[in-house]
Structure 1
Amino acid sequence: MVMGKDLPQVRDPHRPGGEPERELPYPSSWFFLALSRELTVGRVLTRRLANEDVVLYRTADGRPYAVRPYCPHLGAHFGSGGFVEGRNLVCPFHHFAFAPDGTCAGTPDGRPPRARVEHHTIRERNGFVFGWYAPDGEPPAWDAPETAPPEVCATASWHTEVHAPVQELVENALDYRHLPVVHHVTLKELEAPQAQGPYMHARLRLGPTGPAPLAKFQVDHSFLVAGLGCLRIEHPLPPLGVVVYLWALHTPTGPARTRLQVATACADIRPSRPTAASLLRRPMHRALARTMLRIAVSKVQGDIRIWNAKRYEPRPRLTVGDEAIGLFRHWARQFYPAP
């Protein structure tokens, strides 16, 4: 089975000898930009998306915005000293103020020019701020999904930079062969991957390799892949009455460069109105989320070592047992520009 497209070769200075590498273009998707708790009212953040800066800020009414980084007046970078006044983003160079609709709303000493900053389309979901990216500048083809109940927000998170395109990181979840080799876990497919538009679902049962007594420590995982920017894993733990959510969020920051954000949350399987008992369970939820994050990070370190040294194979020689990868490659084509 052979899947993939012919892609240009580029010299990569970060690899030994500058070996040729087939480079994937940036895909269209919703990509993680910031944690909601990072973007407090009045704060201005700079993040990287598709080799360009994105400036994020939150206005006095609590709404988040994201703009292209340079002031149209004389090119100052909003993320380098810019600030928020009420609902306006203020340039650090001459204090030109820009309203949420992008228009210049005022200057310190005269009539504002007919100038506008360009906004990115963003959404807040489960404690994350996502931004839409499309290589051709097209508006969102689908909406950023709620990958957990709306009241669930990530409480623990970790991030790093990986030398690999986003597709490689998402594809890893469908590469069943590497699980016993790299992560020392067994796998049983409960529901084969199913593609539905920009989403892909699967259910797996994972457990540790080793002596037979360890086999009882198996856990069912429900996977949801939303575009090439978001993977959510749901772990129900019925004996504890909780469900743990784990997100792997992938943001292309540059050619063959991805910011990987891993986050976790824990909630009751049967949520109810806040009571004294439920409030007492919150510290347990946070502790479980932190524990699951530590486990997830320890596992992903093995993947990162491989991602940082491997190359993308546009026409992999797949074999029996690699059917999920073939399905994923075919599904992923929808997020790239037509050749």
Structure 2
Amino acid sequence: MISVERFPMDIPYGWFFVAYSDELQAGDVKTVQYFGEELVLFRTLSGKAGLLEAYCAHLGAHLGHGGKVDQDGIRCPFHAWAYNTEGWATDVPYAKKMPPILSRRPCMKAYPIVEKNNVVWAWYHPEKAEPFFDVIEHEEIGQIADEQWEELDRYHWTILSNPQEIAENGVDIAHFRYVHGMDDVPEGKTSYDGHLRRSIAEGQRTLPMPDGEMKTFPTRVETVQNGAGQKYTRITGITDTLLMVLATPVTKDKCELRFAFTHRKFDKESMEYNIARMAIALVIGQTGVEGDIPIWNHKIHRKNPILCDGDGPIMQFREYFEQFYVPAEQRAAAE
């Protein structure tokens, strides 16, 4: 059997989903696999989330198997060394004299963490560069507690692909007809500003009503890509819907994809509520991501594809996304 490298690109850098905030309670310790390694995710008793490499800097015990949160850090199950969320060793309970290195630098690799939009975001960079842009906050999610917007409706898939291939789907105009059965997909207007990519498309959508009648409504679809790991879409029309697209690399050719929706609150018997639910079903079903998954799982990345005028701005998108990779020669020089 001939081996083919499916994806020449490495893991991109940026802010990535590692958990929903409400699924990580104070005192929780979880083992997760992201960015090509095993990690331990925990929340301190004061409520701060931390993400560290999984293996203790002392003698290599796995913090995710028996490690416990202790106040503002996590203790190793082997010798009870304590680490804070920044990777510093804060206590060795049996040591009369702490090793000097422990006062000079963190001895565990720690990932910068922020929490916004009910998501725990981790900053990944292969050279451990500090974050140089922020996660964008969504006011709609902040209004869930006020009962103006619905609780997040969450979906999760594990896909043999990577964030670039998944995001590229949005600019691959031709596939919407042949994979999803959509005849009219407006390209809209796109702008690029450093790590941000924005697109706005306005048009009309025809949907069946509860009585079977087909009605056409004006729609506006605004999509923002904020680095490699945060993408969201706002759909406005007869209903307002927000979709967070959360693609986190497990390895260079495997990622977890999550869709999280919210929409304005309506009476569950109302036309507006039923249209919002219908729109979500279209996005996650065969007319949406479920139609793409079999192709993502088996396709390869053609670095120099043969394109035609109906394919959409694929190469422009790739040029934008290229900034989220550190060139191999640069990485080698830094090691």
Aligned to 2:316: 327
Which residue of 104, 128, 138 maps to 2:129?
138
Any conservation in 2 of the 1:186–1:208 contact (CA below 8 Å)? no
Deviation at 1:315, TM superposition (A): 0.9
Gap change, CA 1:75 and 1:324, over 3 Å in 2: same
Per-residue Cα deviation, 1:127-172 (whole angstroms, up to 9, x for no partner):
1111111122211121222245461566221212111122100000
Aligned to 2:58: 73
CA distance in 2, matches of 1:267, 1:112: 58
Gap change, CA 1:147 and 1:326, over 3 Å in 2: farther
Aligned to 1:167: 164
Aligned to 1:95: 80
Q: Which amino acid aligns with 1:65?
A: G
CA distance in 1, matches of 2:36, 2:277: 31
Identify unmatched segments of 5+ residues in structure 1: 1-15, 269-279
Aligned to 2:184: 187
**SS of residue matched to 2:190:** strand
1:122 aligns with 2:119: no
Q: Which amino acid aligns with 1:109?
A: Y
CA distance in 1, matches of 2:137, 2:269: 24
Instruction: Name which of structure 1's ranges 60-69 and 305-314 shifts more when overlaid on structure 2.
Output: 60-69
Aligned to 1:224: 224
Percent identity between matched residues is 27
**SS of residue matched to 2:243:** strand
1:1-339 matched pairs, under 5 angstroms: 17-111=2-96, 113-114=98-99, 115=102, 116-149=107-140, 151-152=142-143, 155-189=152-186, 191-204=188-201, 205=203, 207=205, 214=214, 216=216, 219-238=219-238, 242-267=239-264, 293-298=280-285, 299-338=288-327
Deviation at 1:230, TM superposition (A): 2.1
**SS of residue matched to 1:145:** coil
Deviation at 1:207, TM superposition (A): 3.7
**SS of residue matched to 1:167:** helix
**SS of residue matched to 2:298:** coil
TM-score (normalised: structure 2): 0.81
CA RMSD of aligned residues (A): 3.0
**SS of residue matched to 1:120:** coil
CA distance in 2, matches of 1:222, 1:96: 48
CA distance in 2, matches of 1:187, 1:148: 30
CA distance in 1, matches of 2:242, 2:293: 21
Instruction: Name which of structure 1's ranges 20-29 and 169-178 shifts more when overlaid on structure 2.
Output: 20-29
The count of aligned residue pairs is 308
